[in-house]
Structure 1
Amino acid sequence: MVTDKPGYEHLIQFLTEHLSLFEQGGNNGSGKTIGELLEESIAEQIITLCTQHTELEMNHRSMIIREVDGIMYDFQEVLSSVLEKKATAQQAELINEISLLIKNLFDNAIADLLD
């Protein structure tokens, strides 16, 4: 649906280009780790996606969940050495931006799917 598309490859490249940001330590005030923020942010966007697209059938939603599992696996692999570190405000911002880009990839895929 999205993980086999060029947009996803660009997203992974975008994350890779910003890996140096994750070398910093710190705290975003909430005390959450990079891994927690990543999971929560992506989950929030996927919930929003599914509520916005009420026309999705159960098999489409299942396909989205499988893809999100794959995306989380990829991101956890890339960020494996820093997942347990407390996130800085800049890291939280980048994670939020990435999760919005993931939602955008799915929005586009759903538009193509339903055409």
Structure 2
Amino acid sequence: MVTDKDGYMHLIQFLSEHLGLFEGKEAAALTDDTVMELFEEQLSAQIIMVCGQNPSLTFAQRNQVIREIDAIVYDLEEILASVANRKATPKQTLFITEFSGLIKNLFDQEISKVLITE
């Protein structure tokens, strides 16, 4: 659905280009959440919104969305392995929130295509 699209590859590249934000000295954390926990929370919230905004999605389509999110989290764990368990700083929190919103946009686009073709 999304992980095989160019837009997703561009987002992963965007994350890779901003890895410096997650590396180096740890700044004061804004939250007790780690970088990976914050990604998971934000992505979960975005996907709940996606499903809520598209009540006509079938059970199978919702499961596909969940499998895609699992794949995205796996990719994030691979990319952020060395910093995943650090507490998130304010700048990291902002980046994670924006990145998760961009992931939601990818799902919005793909779901609208799926619903139009049905």
Tell me if both proteins adopt one fold, taking TM over 0.5 as the criterion. Answer: yes
C-alpha distance in 2, partners of 1:99/1:30?
17
TM-score by length of 1: 0.97
TM-superposed deviation, 1:31: 1.6
Q: Is the 8 A contact 1:42 1:99 kept in 2?
A: yes
What count of residue pairs does the alignment treat as equivalent?
A: 115
Alignment of 1:1-115 (within 5 A): 1-24=1-24, 25-115=26-116
Q: Which string of whole-angstrom CA distances, capped at 9 and with x for unpartnered residues, describes residues 39-86 of structure 1?
A: 100001001111111111100000000010000000110000001101
Identity of counterpart residues, as a percentage?
Answer: 50
Q: Which runs of 5+ in 2 are unaligned?
A: none
Q: Which string of whole-angstrom CA distances, capped at 9 and with x for unpartnered residues, describes residues 6-25 of structure 1?
A: 00000000000000000141
Q: Is the 8 A contact 1:23 1:82 kept in 2?
A: yes
Q: Which amino acid aligns with 2:82?
A: S
Q: Which runs of 4+ in 1 moved over 4 A?
A: none
Q: 1:53 to 1:27 in 2, by over 3 A?
A: farther
Q: Which amino acid aligns with 1:61?
A: R
C-alpha distance in 2, partners of 1:93/1:28?
12
Q: Which runs of 5+ in 1 are unaligned?
A: none
C-alpha distance in 1, partners of 2:11/2:4?
12
Structure 2 counterpart SS, 1:95 = helix
TM-score by length of 2: 0.94
Q: Which amino acid aligns with 1:96?
A: T
C-alpha distance in 1, partners of 2:100/2:33?
16
